[in-house]
Amino acid sequence: MQIKMKSSQIFVKDIEDGMIIARDVFDSEGGLLLAEGFEIKEAYKAKRLLNQHKILFLKVLREEIEIAPALNSIGTEEEVDIATLNKAIEEINENKEILKESLNKFITGEDIRQEEIENVIENTLKLFQSNINVFQIMQSVKDVDDITYAHCQNVSLVSYSIGQWMELDREDLEELALTGMLIDIGKTKVDSAVLNKKEKLSNDEFAEMKKHSIFSHEVIKEYGYISERVKRAVLFHHERMDGSGYPMGLKGNSIPLFSRIVAIADVYNALISHRPHRSKKTPFEAIRVLETEYMDKLDPSILYLFLRRIAANYIGQRVKLNNGQSGEIIFIPQINLHRPILKIKETDKMIDLSKSDNAHLDIVEFI
């Protein structure tokens, strides 16, 4: 056995004495708050400093005991990270196939036992037991042809994350994850020509598309081990706070909590995924759309929590700008979350995308 310093992203509230800063922490002006390599000796002071600057996360090094690997099997830290990333992507793809098989049993009316669904949930949520950043992993997974099943899996993961940030209990989290998995199974009953149409849907075609939430509910309604709140959440996941949604035109808090959570995950994942009628958006383009177009349609308190947390998940992400430069996201502002501060790779220069003189710059790719 050996003691190894391992890098991990933590909440500010979880800072402890003895931790070492693994990546520079900057304030909203690009000023350095805590330098890489700094050892925290008074955790309460570090927490107070970072809370004053509204920093939510940071990367630290901390001691972990690990079994020494076999001779000739040691790789560089970067190789280990790549291996971990590739393994997580492989697991996501494998779990998607398992989920697809289980959902098809629902659709065809086959007998599907409760234990099988519980295993699907457990396998899907294993990602949260590691230091893997689920949102960055979702960006790394290649686009797939079976859009519906990949979407159900991703909505499940995002919904679970939102539930964690809301501090829901374990039972709620598992049911929330199940809701995300089930919301779109009714799309298999929608005409594939409508689902895959590249042009704008006609009124009749859109009316057909909107039936999928009812179809999804019909598929699962006879299964006694699926709770009523999951069934209702599936039925109402396209309702909107202003009453513009479907199938019932519900408003505000008359929309079930799970439906309001899953709706955010559903819209976000749709925006960052390829669709027949458009290319996918970057997460920060999706954040901009949610900030500017959905504040009156999605639950604003949950949406704001989601936007702050999702943006913070991309601190440290390498990105490419539309001028060809690449850099690293180092800070997320409280206003205009979609316009972060970057540290340019070639020059170490700080660029604040929220400034008017940088309005011509946009993040076009995650690398």
Instruction: Give me the residue label for tokens 């079976």.
Output: 146
Answer yes or no: are the C-beta atoms of 213 and 237 closer than 8 Å: yes
Beta bridge partners of 278: 275
The whole-number pLDDT of residue 125 equals 82
**Minimum mean pLDDT among 20-29, 138-147, 173-182, 331-340: which range?**
138-147
What is the arithmetic mean of pLDDT over 148-159? Answer: 87
Six-digit token string for 282:
């970057």
For the segment 233-255, what is each residue's pLDDT rounded down to a tens digit?
999 999 999 999 999 999 998 99
User: Exposed (0-12), middle (13-18) or buried (19+): which is 309, by Cβ within 10 Å?
Assistant: middle
212-220 and 228-235 helices cross at what angle (nearest 10)? 160
Q: Is 331 helix (H, G, I), strand (E, B) or coil?
A: strand
DSSP letter, residue 39? B
Answer yes or no: are the C-beta atoms of 160 and 178 closer than 8 Å: no
Six-digit token string for 41:
């000796």
151 contacts: CB under 8 Å, gap ≥ 6:
184, 266, 269, 270, 273
What is the arithmetic mean of pLDDT over 195-216? Answer: 88
Going by pLDDT thresholds of 50, 70 and 90, the confidence category of residue 127 is confident
Answer yes or no: are the C-beta atoms of 7 and 60 closer than 8 Å: yes
For the segment 82-111, what is each residue's pLDDT rounded down to a tens digit?
566 677 777 777 878 888 888 888 888 788
Asked if the bond preceding 247 is cis, omega within 30° of 0, the reply is yes
Answer yes or no: are the C-beta atoms of 106 and 121 closer than 8 Å: no
Answer yes or no: are the C-beta atoms of 365 and 320 closer than 8 Å: yes
Provide, rounded to the nearest whole percent, the portion of the chain with pLDDT above 70. Answer: 86
Answer yes or no: are the C-beta atoms of 57 and 23 closer than 8 Å: no
* CA-based nearest residue to 196, from 135, 246, 145: 145
- Secondary element (H or E) of residue 50: helix 43-52
Residue 76 has pLDDT above 70, yes or no: no
The whole-number pLDDT of residue 97 equals 83
What is the arithmetic mean of pLDDT over 16-32? Answer: 83
* CA-based nearest residue to 319, from 272, 292, 283, 359: 283
276 contacts: CB under 8 Å, gap ≥ 6:
195, 196, 197, 198
Tell me the C-alpha distance between 316 and 329, whole Å.
5
Provide, rounded to the nearest whole percent, the portion of the chain with pLDDT above 90. Answer: 37
Answer yes or no: are the C-beta atoms of 173 and 179 closer than 8 Å: no
Tell me the C-alpha distance between 215 and 221, whole Å.
10
Six-digit token string for 19:
């931790």
What is the arithmetic mean of pLDDT over 334-343? Answer: 87
Helices (H) and strands (E) in the chain, counts: 13, 10
Residue 72 has pLDDT above 60, yes or no: no
What separation in angstroms does the CA of 168 have from each of 121, 184, 212, 257, 286?
Answer: 16, 24, 28, 11, 25
Dihedral (CA of 201, 204, 208, 213) sign:
positive
